[in-house]
Amino acid sequence: MEESILSVSSERAERRKVNPSKKFVKSAYVKSLREYNKIYNESVKNPAKFWGEKAKQLHWFKKWKTVFKYSKKPFVKWFEGGKINVSYNCLDRHLTTWRKNKAALIWQGEPEEDSRTYTYVELHREVCKFANVLKRKGIRKGDRVCLYMPMIPEIAIAMLACTRIGAIHSIVFGGYSAESLRKRIKDSEAKMLITADGSLRKGKPMPLKDKADSVLGKCRSVKNVIVCKRANIKVKMNKRRDFWWHEEMKDASPFCKAVEMDAEDPLFILYTSGTTGTPKGVLHTTGGYLVYVYQTTKWVFDLKDDDTYWCTADVGWITGHSYIVYGPLANGATSLMFEGVPTYPEPDRFWQIVEKYKVNVFYTAPTVVRALEREGKKWVDKHDLSSLRLLGSVGEPINPDAWNWYYNVIGKRKCPIVDTWWQTETGGILITPLPGAMPLKPGSATMPFPGVVPAILKEDGSEAAANEGGDLVIKKSWPGIGRTVWKNPKRYIDVYFSKFPDYYLAGDAAKKDKDGYFWIMGRIDDVVNVSGHRIGTAEVESALVSHKTVAESAVVPMSHEIKGQCLYAFVTLKRGVKKSDKLKIELVKHVARVIGHIAKPEKVQFADALPKTRSGKIMRRILKAIVEGKKDVGDTTTLADASVVKTLIREKEK
Ligand code: 7RM
């Protein structure tokens, strides 16, 4: 009865469907399931035709010869023979249209009074100037440039300037430690570092340049450092090596021709943590990536010219690359960028910004939704959110409780929610609703984007039956797929193409229901085997969070003499709820009620905070180590707040 636990609780969820309103459908790009099915079937039958047509909407200096072909499996080439430039498509292409004076980037700083808007023509000018600064400092096509910056417009300007001259950017998230920065600079052999004096976090200046300085001595490849002023922190400048952004920009020319890049020339490297300690440098290339983020941004967010679009991610992770900068700008959209956090100065900051800029499309992570739900509805009710017409979610499965709150309290029951499943490696969104076409099922990322062919495989490689959990794979290539691991093609093959050699292995467990909806269950290693039952920890977490006292939870396996494994639940309570043993018992009972007795956590530990990456993902690897009583919980440098770990160890359940 392996699959029973996975289907019992989902059976109810699976039947619930939420349809988009007539008004939404009326203006949507794709208006019905029938229309989606038609587009989908054609895209899969003839991917070259489908992607070729989409690619034509961008500007190519020279058209491609073949839409796609394998050079040597699994290595693939998209739009071979084509010449294109990303910055040209994100900027120059709009300057000959009415969009030239449209807001491209609206930036809201953490202090309310700090904000800036760049029109397309203005952004183009800044990018050209900075591209000339790069050239002056000796940066050429193919060179790596490392960015270690706050969420300020200069990060987008630097990215676009790199793409303009064919330099490969490698963004290291500003929250990462100096040591993480060093590793990434070393692996990519970056010739330049672009950073800032510091960033602002909850009103406090946090050093960046100082942190970088502590390792730059060991980074021989870096010849120059460009420093932006942001946090008013005094920094040491090495005369021969370090230069101020604003000084370099003063006399830089605003004319810079965009380099004609081969479609398969490298665009950027983005490091992502793997199972080993060494992060993988995922390499994305030019033409395919741009076509993919262009088309997904347009259809998934149903983006229209008069929309103000806000993705709350940090530019330092893939969501920011694809859906703050490249996707929206390639569409000529207005993209909002926010420097701060959701709860500062008060827990209504996001809603205040939505009201201030009349945001229409809002894209965030489930962890943010849960954190703001925890703060209470009163913060939402202070603001007029009537401009919102579409909501998005990314990063983790969104549990039905958070989904309902997002839908009812934020979207006022009129905004579809696009639950978008994808990864750093996929470049863009792969499984997602097209919001005018798909009836939503809360908790499901629904269906594949046109051209994408996912499947659920069992260990022996055969396809799983409906509702049966297994490995999520993608059977056909798509233009946005990461092409290799930087300097390590073997690792690319090992990680993604060896368990099932013909398919891309996502590393997530998932299942597909009878209606063809995909349900992501979490990373493969988040599936726990309790007395022979496969239980997705996400499902137990979802049950816990559906209890009225619970704000957030993380469930991990713990070894158990009899059951093999059992479940250990970390639970964050809502504000004002009292911790008690009685409540623990009640929560365990609640899980039994929602899923069944076999899913009952063996232990419950209350935790005011959970170890999370700055992008909001709970680091279950660390929780597992804590639960197993390991002295060394492994690398904690990617955590937003490493002190959380000590508290959890101290308060561990016996
Ligand atoms: C975009 C991003 C990738 C991993 C992925 C999943 C999880 C992301 C969803 C999701 C369920 C979703 N890139 N994940 N989105 N799980 N539903 N809508 O997050 O490289 O940082 O992470 O995130 O496990 O494999 S990522």
Q: pLDDT digits over 398-440, tens only? A: 888 899 999 999 999 999 999 999 999 999 999 999 999 999 9
Point out which residues pair with 512 in neighbouring strands: 518
In this structure, the residue with its CA closest to atom 23 of ligand 1 is 395
CATH 3.40.50.12780 in the chain is located at 10-85+263-450+477-497
- Does ligand 1 have an atom closer than 6 angstroms to the CB of 587? no
pTM here is 0.88
> Which atom in ligand 1 lies closest to the alpha carbon of residue 272?
20
Residue 533 binned pLDDT confidence (cut-offs 50, 70, 90): low
> Which atom in ligand 1 lies closest to the alpha carbon of residue 522?
24
- Does ligand 1 have an atom closer than 6 angstroms to the CB of 509? no
* pLDDT(588) > 50: yes
Q: Is 640 left (phi over 0), alpha (psi -120 to 50) or beta?
A: alpha
User: Distance, CA 429 to ligand 1 centroid (Å)?
Assistant: 10
CATH 3.30.300.30 in the chain is located at 523-650
Give 3-state DSSP helix, strand, coil % of the chain, rounded to 5.
Answer: 35, 25, 40
- Does ligand 1 have an atom closer than 6 angstroms to the CB of 163? no
List, for residues 634-649, the tens digit of each pLDDT value: 777 777 787 888 999 9
User: Distance, CA 399 to ligand 1 centroid (Å)?
Assistant: 14
| pLDDT at position 12 | 62
User: Distance, CA 322 to ligand 1 centroid (Å)?
Assistant: 14
* pLDDT(9) > 50: no
- Does ligand 1 have an atom closer than 6 angstroms to the CB of 24? no
List, for residues 257-314, the tens digit of each pLDDT value: 999 999 999 999 999 866 555 779 999 999 999 999 999 999 999 999 999 999 999 9
| pLDDT at position 532 | 60
> Which atom in ligand 1 lies closest to the alpha carbon of residue 419?
18
First to last CA, the chain: 31
Distance CA 487, CA 186 (A): 12
- Does ligand 1 have an atom closer than 6 angstroms to the CB of 446? no
The CATH number of the structural domain formed by 119-259 is 3.40.50.980
| pLDDT at position 277 | 55
Q: Give the C-alpha distances (Å, rounded to integers) separating 560 from 360, 523, 531, 564, 628.
A: 49, 21, 10, 5, 10
| Cα 141 to chain centroid, rounded | 27
| pLDDT at position 276 | 54
> Which atom in ligand 1 lies closest to the alpha carbon of residue 393?
18
Q: Which is more confidently placed, 254 or 616?
A: 254
List, for residues 153-196, the tens digit of each pLDDT value: 999 999 999 999 999 999 998 877 788 899 999 999 999 999 99
Point out which residues pair with 618 in neighbouring strands: 612
- Does ligand 1 have an atom closer than 6 angstroms to the CB of 523? yes
Using an 8 Å Cβ cutoff, are 6 and 511 in contact? Answer: yes
- Does ligand 1 have an atom closer than 6 angstroms to the CB of 272? yes
> What average pLDDT does the segment 81-105 reach?
98
Residue linked to tokens 């900068």 = 325
Work out the mean pLDDT of the chain and round it to a whole number: 93
Using an 8 Å Cβ cutoff, are 549 and 583 in contact? Answer: yes
Six token digits for residue 72: 């040597």
Residue 357 binned pLDDT confidence (cut-offs 50, 70, 90): very high
3-class state of residue 100 by DSSP: helix
Residue 6 binned pLDDT confidence (cut-offs 50, 70, 90): very low
Does the 10-85+263-450+477-497 domain belong in CATH 3.40.50.12780? yes
One of 3.90.480.20, 3.30.300.30, 3.90.1150.10, 3.40.50.1240 is the CATH number of 523-650, namely 3.30.300.30
CATH 3.40.50.980 in the chain is located at 119-259
List, for residues 110-148, the tens digit of each pLDDT value: 999 999 999 999 999 999 999 999 999 999 999 999 999
Q: Give the C-alpha distances (Å, rounded to integers) separating 158 from 131, 153, 226.
A: 8, 9, 10
List, for residues 231-241, the tens digit of each pLDDT value: 999 999 999 99
Ligand 1 pocket test: pick from 296, 321, 398, 421 the residue with the most ligand atoms within 8 Å of its Cβ: 421
> Which atom in ligand 1 lies closest to the alpha carbon of residue 421?
18
| pLDDT at position 406 | 97
- Does ligand 1 have an atom closer than 6 angstroms to the CB of 397? yes
Q: Give the C-alpha distances (Å, rounded to integers) separating 482 from 268, 390, 486.
A: 10, 28, 10
| pLDDT at position 90 | 98
